[in-house]
Amino acid sequence: MSLVVFGVLFALVTALGFFASRWRGGGRFDHLDEWGLGGRAFGPWVTWFLIGGDLYTAYTFVAVPALIFGAGAMGFFALPNTVLVYPLVYLPLLRLWSVSRAHGYVTPADFVHGRYGSPTLALLVAVTGIVATMPYIALQLAGLEAVLRTMGLNGTGLAGHAPLFVAFLILAVYTYRSGLRAPALIAFVKDGLMYLVIIAAVVILPIKLGGWGAIFDAANTKFTATPAQSGGILLNATNQLQYVTLALGSALALFLYPHAVTGVLAARSSTVIKRNMVALPAYSLMLGLLALLGYAAIAAHTHPIVNAATGRPDSNTVIPMLFAGQFPSWFAGVAFAAIGIGALVPAAIMSIAAANLWTRNIYRAYLHRDATAAQEAQQAKIASLVVKFGAVALIVLIDPQYSIDLQLIGGAIILQTLPMVAIALYTRWLHVAGLAAGWVVGMGWGLALLFGIPNRASGKQHFGGSALALNEVSILGWHPFAGSPTQIYVGFIALTGNLVVAALVTLVLRPMRIAGGTDETTPLDYSPVESPGYSKMREHLQAHP
C-alpha cells in the first residue's frame, strides 16, 4: 500500500512539473530570465514556498534526524543555524536583489563581474557555485533513494542505485521543460505534505513511545552505552567548538549557494523579500520537530536498512523505517512521498542555479560571447542535465558516513565566495588580486583538509566528513593547536585563511595604487526603495552620472 500511495503522489507532482511550463505565463523559455528565474515575477506566497522548498530539503527530513540518531546533540546545530541565518542575510539579500534587478544580473557571479569588472573573479565564483551545488543535489537524491530502498527497492551493485537513476531521469525531464516554474509549483504540494506528516508524527509518536521523557531517556541510554561513538544528548568538550562553527559557518553559507540566490532573484519586488525573511523562520519550528524524530527512532528501536549495494547500514533510511514501523502503510506512503518530493524540489532548483552559472559566466563569458538569449536558455537546459549527472556520481564515489556531510562539504566550498559576494555588497576595499589569492588559499586548504578526513564507517580514506581535530590543523608545517582533540568545522578554517590572505594582499597592493577593476554599479543600485519618484531619479542619475 505504501508503494501505491507513494506512486500516486509522485505521479501527481511529475504531472505538475510538466504543467508548470504553461503556469503563470510560462511557455516562453527562450530567455534565461524566464527559464532560470521564472520571469522574475513571483509574489509573496510563491516565493515563500519556493525558498522554503529550496532550503528545507532532504537535509531536513532525512539527514539531520539521521545525524541525531547516530551522533546525538551534535545534529541540533541545524537549529541555531536557521535562527542565525535570517537576521544575517536580511539586508544583504535586499541589496543583492536590488542591484541584480537594476543591471539584469542572473547569478551571483554576474554581480561580482559587474562590481569588480573582473571576468576572472566571476569565473571563480561560478566554478565554486557549481562544484558546491553538486554534493547538495547528491544529498537530495540520496534521500529519495533511501525512501525507495525502504519500500523494497534495494538491489546490489549498480542495480542498487537504479532508483536514483530513475529519479534523475524524472527530475531531468521536467526541469528541462519547465525551468524554475516546475519546482515553484511543486513546492506547494511538498510543503503541504511535509506539514501534515510532521504534525501527525509529533502528536502520535510520543503517545506510542511513552512521551518525550521516555524518548530522551532511551536516547541517553543508547549513547551512554556507546561512548566510543562520541555521541550523547549533550555536547562534550570535544565537539562544542564544532557545534558553534558548524552553526555559524552553515548560516553564512546558506544564502551564498546559487540556488538560494536564484529563489531570491525570482521575487518580483523587495517587499516580497522582506516579507519572506520575516516569515521563513516558521520553518525552523518544523526543523526542530523533525530533528527530534532522530531520538524517537532510537526509542522505537528502529534500525537502518543494510544497503545491498554497499553491504553497510544506510543511515538515511532511519526516518523512513520509523514511519514504516509506527504508522499504517498508507500513511507511511504519504510520508515517503513527502520525503521524495522534498528531495526533488530543491534538486531541481539547484540544478537550474548551477546551469545559470555555467551559461552566463563560463559559456557566454569565454566560449560564445555573442550568444543570443535563446542560445543561452538552451545551453542552460543542457547544463542542468550535466550537473545532475555529477550529483549522481558523487553519491556513488564519495558515500559519506552521514548524508549531511555532503551538504557540509559543499558548505565548506561555497563559503570561499563570501568575500567576493557578501562583503562586496557593502565595500570594494578588498583588492581583486587579494580576493583571488584568498580564494586560492581558502579553497586549496579546505579541499586538502576535507580530502584527508577518513570515513570510519566505509573505510574510505578521503572526504569522509567535515569535522577536523584542531591538532591536525597545519599552517605550512606549523601545528598551532598540537595536542588538542577539539574538533572544528573545516569550512570555518578555510574561510579564516581566505579572509586573512585577502586582507594581507590588499594591504600590500593598495599603497602601490595597482588598479583593482572598474565598478559598473552605483550606490543607488543597492537601495531597495520602490517608488515612481525614486525610479525616475535613479534612471536620471544613471543616464547623467
pLDDT in tens, 331-356: 999 999 988 888 888 888 888 899 99
Give the structural domain span for 242.
2-521
- Are 186 and 351 in contact, with CB atoms under 8 Å apart? no
Give me the pLDDT at residue 143, please. 82
**Residue 87: exposed, middle, or buried by beta-carbon count in 10 A (0-12, 13-18, 19+)?**
exposed
- Are 111 and 321 in contact, with CB atoms under 8 Å apart? no
Grid cell at residue 279: 516569515
**Residue 115: exposed, middle, or buried by beta-carbon count in 10 A (0-12, 13-18, 19+)?**
buried
Query: Hey, which residues does 475 pair with through a beta bridge?
Result: 478
State the pLDDT confidence band at 316, using cuts at 50, 70 and 90: confident
Q: Is 411 inside a domain boundary? A: yes
Q: Which of 270, 174, 224 is nearest to 527 (CA)?
A: 270
Q: Is the pLDDT reported for residue 540 higher than 50?
A: no
Q: Helix crossing, 318-326 with 329-358: angle to 10°?
A: 160
Q: What angle do CA 16, 148, 56 make, to 5 degrees?
A: 60
Q: What's the whole-number mean pLDDT along residues 34-45?
A: 85
Q: Is 156 inside a domain boundary? A: yes
Give me the pLDDT at residue 531, please. 45
Give me the pLDDT at residue 146, please. 83
Query: Which 3 state secondary structure label does DSSP give 159?
Result: helix
Q: Is 535 inside a domain boundary? A: no
Q: What's the whole-number mean pLDDT along residues 413-437?
A: 95
Q: Is the pLDDT reported for residue 537 higher than 60?
A: no
Count of beta carbons in the 10 Å neighbourhood of residue 303: 12
**Residue 403: exposed, middle, or buried by beta-carbon count in 10 A (0-12, 13-18, 19+)?**
buried
Whole-prediction pTM value? 0.88
- Are 501 and 434 in contact, with CB atoms under 8 Å apart? yes
Query: What is the tally of structural domains in the chain?
Result: 1
Find all residues with CB under 8 Å of 68, minimum gap 6, and list them.
74, 75, 76, 291, 292, 294, 295
State the pLDDT confidence band at 140, using cuts at 50, 70 and 90: confident
pLDDT, tens digit (0-9, with 9 covering 90-100), for 233-267:
888 888 899 999 999 999 999 889 998 999 899 99
Q: What is the DSSP string of 328-357?
A: -HHHHHHHHHHHHHHHHHHHHHHHHHHHHH
Task: Return the minimum-mean-pLDDT range out of 135-144, 206-215, 455-464, 527-536.
Answer: 527-536
State the pLDDT confidence band at 21, using cuts at 50, 70 and 90: confident
* CATH code, domain with 128: 1.20.1730.10
Q: Is the pLDDT reported for residue 465 higher than 90?
A: no
pLDDT, tens digit (0-9, with 9 covering 90-100), for 152-197:
877 666 666 666 677 677 777 878 878 888 888 888 888 888 889 9
pLDDT, tens digit (0-9, with 9 covering 90-100), for 129-138:
998 988 888 7
Q: Is 398 inside a domain boundary? A: yes
Q: Which of 489, 519, 488, 507 is nearest to 438 (CA)?
A: 507
Q: Is 278 inside a domain boundary? A: yes
Q: Report the number of secondary-structure helices (H) and strands (E) in the chain.
A: 23, 2
Q: What's the whole-number mean pLDDT along residues 15-31?
A: 73
Q: Is 357 inside a domain boundary? A: yes
Q: Rounded to an integer, what distance in angstroms lies between the CA atom of residue 457 and that of residue 127?
A: 31
Q: Is 538 inside a domain boundary? A: no
Grid cell at residue 40: 522574475
Q: Is 61 inside a domain boundary? A: yes
- Between 500 and 41, the more confident residue is 500
